[in-house]
Amino acid sequence: MTGLWLAAALALLPPFALAVVASGRAALRFRLVAVQFATSLATLLLVALSFALDQPATIDLALILAVLTLPGTLLFALFQERWL
């Protein structure tokens, strides 16, 4: 069963890489959306890796990332709205 999860985690890597590249190199107004997309994919990726590597504790990383998305993206949105 862990092989399926590992394959899913590997298959999630190209969209994640696209989102990371877009969040760094796209036009400024697209970067905020790309960051959100990358964070969502990173959360799914961490969940998949937790099952693939059979490490139940690592799912806490995904939970923390999902919660910390809120202040991080709010701060980014504030900067983009006012100063960037």
Partner 1 sequence: MSLGVALCLALAVLSAWIAAAALWRLRTPLERLHAVTFVNVAGGGAVLLAAGLTDGLSPRVLKCAAIWLAILLIGALLGHVTGHALHIRDGERR
Binding site for partner 1 (CB under 8 A): 1, 4-5, 7-8, 11-12, 14-16, 18-19, 22, 29-30, 32-34, 36-37, 40-41, 43-44, 47-48, 50-51, 56, 59-60, 62-63, 66-67, 69-70, 73-74, 77-78, 80-81
Residue of 14, 55, 58 lying closest to 38 (CA atoms) = 14
Nearer to partner 1, 24 or 74 (CB): 74
- CB nearer partner 1, residue 16 or residue 24: 16
Please provide residue 25's backbone torsions phi and psi, each rounded to the nearest 5 degrees: -125, -10
Contact 50, 2 (CB under 8 A): no
- CA of 10: how far to CAs of 15, 33, 42, 45, 46, in Å? 10, 23, 12, 9, 11
Min separation Cβ 57 and partner 1, Å: 9
Task: State which residue, 7 or 24, has the beta carbon closest to partner 1.
Answer: 7
